[in-house]
Structure 1
């Protein structure tokens, strides 16, 4: 009997000692606690977004973690208490008993930290899980949610399922598949021939941004591991900066080619749905579900202007060729023009397609904006006359992506549709010069 009890005791101790902070504890804290205890939103002056800060007391001045003593550890006391007014997380269900017990056992066994850099963000230390493999052949065409043309103008990167696909612009043929990417790719930015940025994630669960070398896909670096999906991303025309935003309301800006974080801010009260870089690489525009659009200093991350002229969620933004004016499009079919101060331009409202979402915007030239819409239309507009100038193409479903390619005097409009189709139209030609389904197997 004594031998059995000794065996059970040693087994329990070994189990507790094997608890991994990075694999088991950090994911719980990320899911349940970090949102209320991070930079810019540290309730009780306590932060949990890095290991170093997690170990520092907040306003209570009580040690968050006391190795070997869970009942004296503030972080455990607040998640385990039965007093609803004190219990964490606030205004939410208590942690499942299994997770509460796991945290207690981790502290009781010495609160060991299997972390190389305590200054690193909690999300960055969580080991990557093996991702689902993309199907060899897609069972049906996948909606096109992101496109990016390489600097040479010869290859088009396209969104895929746990992958990014590469297509030959001349023939529409598949040339390569880059695996290990986010489940949903929602933004792409091709910076140099050897550097492609991929952003996306899983709505409500995770967000990711990767830098990958398309010719050597194993050369990759994860820049962002966010609590929610990254919905928008843009690179500066000079190739020095990369900015992204999404469902965690954050905008992050990175230096290129290093991928070093330059600044991070939370300019909106709701999801960031669209972004644009100014042609002079000095400013970033953002579109948000909070019904505003903003202009941000790209060097400092400071808000330069806020446009409040929309009555519904703002989905898309674009800068004029001189970087002075901004267009923003909303869910009700309105496109607004506004200046560097956030003031609406006189007679600055365009409605090219009735009550339909303005999903992507661009410019052919200073007086000719482009719009891709939920109705399936892609049109150019006469900004001065405030009317449609030319119908570029018409799909049977939502047009999610719009890009403009200029080669000498030739202008191409590249679009991606929810039905999986990619089209390349040349200005002045009625029919597409190339059309294909951007799903392997189709």
Structure 2
């Protein structure tokens, strides 16, 4: 009888010792704990967003993880307690029994770490899950939710399903497909020929930001692994910074080309829906579902001004060419202009399309805003009459995204529609100079 019992004991011990921190424990902590225990928002001064900090006590001074002793480990004790006022995570259901046992067994087996860099963030050490493949041919056109033009202005990156598609900017011919990307791609930024940023995720489940070399797609790096979608992203004109935000209310700023996190903050109480860098690369503007827009110092993440005069969700933002003012557009069709202090400019409330969403914003010149609207129109705005000035093009569905391309005396607007169509319009010409369906197989 002794030998079978000894065999079972040794087998159980070996099983517990094989628990992988990066593959099994870190994903649970990211999903259940990191949101309330990270830089800038560490409840009880205890942080779980890096491997090193996870082992350091917070205000309670209780040791979070005591190798071999789960019942003396504060991290496990607060997860396992039946006292609802003490139990973690707060204001949420208790961890499933399977996850609780996994954490207990990991600590009991010695709390081993299969991590090379203990200063690394938890999100960066979790191995990438194998993604599903994009369809060879799309069964129907996919809405265009993001566009980016490369520095040479000859290739257009477009959102796809689990991929980014690359198109010849002159002919609309498909050039390449970059697979292994987020399921939904909601923002793109092309900083250098060898560096394209891709943001998106799965609503309510995951958010991602990747840096990828379009010429060598295997050269890629994941910058963000979040609990919810990344909805907005912008790169600084000088190519040194990349900022992103989304449905987890987080604003993150990375140094380029390294991809190192520079700072992270939570400037809004709800989703970050729109984002823009100032032309001088010193400031970031954000728009949120919390009905505010903000001006933020790009170097520090400090809030410089808050605009509070919208009465509904703010979807889009853009800086004036001199970097002084910001225009912000909302879900009910209103565009407001405001200054460095967050004060609205007098008599500058614009309604170029009636009560339809202002989905994208920019400037054709210092005195002429341009916008893409929920009714499909892409129009310039007369700031004196505060109405639409010139109709540049009209899509059959929502005009989700807008790029402005300047080359010498020529200005082109590239717009992406919910029906899957991309149009390139040239100022002064009545018809688009190029249009194509940005879905492989169509």
Q: Shorter-normalised TM-score: what interval?
A: over 0.9
- Which residue does the alignment assign to 2:380? 380
Deviation at 1:337, TM superposition (A): 0.6
TM-score where L is the length of structure 1: 0.98
CA contact 2:353–2:387 (8 Å) conserved in 1:
no
Deviation at 1:3, TM superposition (A): 3.1
- Which residue does the alignment assign to 1:241? 241
- Length, aligned pairs only: 442
- Which residue does the alignment assign to 2:336? 336
SS state of the match for residue 9, structure 1?
helix
Deviation at 1:369, TM superposition (A): 0.7
Q: Distance in 2 between matches of 1:309 and 1:315?
A: 14
- Structure 2 counterparts to residues 11-410 of structure 1, below 5 A: 11-410=11-410
Unaligned segments of structure 1, at least 5 residues: none
CA contact 1:367–1:384 (8 Å) conserved in 2:
no
Worse-matched range after superposition: 144-153 or 36-45: 36-45
Residues 236-283 of structure 1: CA distance to partner in whole angstroms, max 9, x if unpaired? 112121111111212122222222222222211111101011112121
Deviation at 1:227, TM superposition (A): 2.3
Deviation at 1:333, TM superposition (A): 0.9
SS state of the match for residue 171, structure 2?
coil
- Which residue does the alignment assign to 1:425? 425
Deviation at 1:419, TM superposition (A): 1.0
CA contact 2:399–2:416 (8 Å) conserved in 1:
yes
SS state of the match for residue 350, structure 1?
coil
Deviation at 1:58, TM superposition (A): 1.4
Q: Distance in 2 between matches of 1:303 and 1:45?
A: 22
Deviation at 1:14, TM superposition (A): 1.3
SS state of the match for residue 299, structure 2?
coil
Deviation at 1:63, TM superposition (A): 0.9
Q: Distance in 2 between matches of 1:297 and 1:77?
A: 40
CA contact 1:292–1:309 (8 Å) conserved in 2:
yes
Residues 413-436 of structure 1: CA distance to partner in whole angstroms, max 9, x if unpaired? 100011111111111212111111
Deviation at 1:5, TM superposition (A): 2.3
CA contact 1:321–1:366 (8 Å) conserved in 2:
yes
Unaligned segments of structure 2, at least 5 residues: none
Q: Distance in 1 between matches of 2:264 and 2:384?
A: 37
CA contact 2:39–2:264 (8 Å) conserved in 1:
no
SS state of the match for residue 349, structure 1?
coil
SS state of the match for residue 294, structure 1?
strand
Deviation at 1:229, TM superposition (A): 1.4
SS state of the match for residue 348, structure 1?
coil
CA contact 1:362–1:369 (8 Å) conserved in 2:
yes
Whether 2:425 is the aligned partner of 1:413: answer: no
Residues 371-427 of structure 1: CA distance to partner in whole angstroms, max 9, x if unpaired? 111111111111122121011111121111001111111111100011111111111
Q: Distance in 1 between matches of 2:280 and 2:419?
A: 34
Residues 286-327 of structure 1: CA distance to partner in whole angstroms, max 9, x if unpaired? 101111111111222221111111011100001111111110
Q: Distance in 2 between matches of 1:197 and 1:68?
A: 42
Q: Distance in 2 between matches of 1:403 and 1:117?
A: 40
- RMSD of Structure 2 on Structure 1 (CA): 1.1
CA contact 1:402–1:415 (8 Å) conserved in 2:
yes
Deviation at 1:154, TM superposition (A): 0.9
Q: Distance in 1 between matches of 2:51 and 2:326?
A: 40
Deviation at 1:6, TM superposition (A): 2.5
CA contact 1:205–1:229 (8 Å) conserved in 2:
yes
Q: Distance in 1 between matches of 2:59 and 2:303?
A: 30
TM-score where L is the length of structure 2: 0.98
CA contact 2:40–2:264 (8 Å) conserved in 1:
no
Deviation at 1:366, TM superposition (A): 1.3
Deviation at 1:212, TM superposition (A): 1.3
Worse-matched range after superposition: 301-310 or 223-232: 223-232
CA contact 2:350–2:387 (8 Å) conserved in 1:
yes
SS state of the match for residue 347, structure 1?
coil
Residues 87-130 of structure 1: CA distance to partner in whole angstroms, max 9, x if unpaired? 11111111111111111111111111111111111111111111
Q: Distance in 2 between matches of 1:321 and 1:285?
A: 13
Residues 143-163 of structure 1: CA distance to partner in whole angstroms, max 9, x if unpaired? 111000111111100011111
Worse-matched range after superposition: 100-109 or 251-260: 251-260
SS state of the match for residue 354, structure 1?
coil
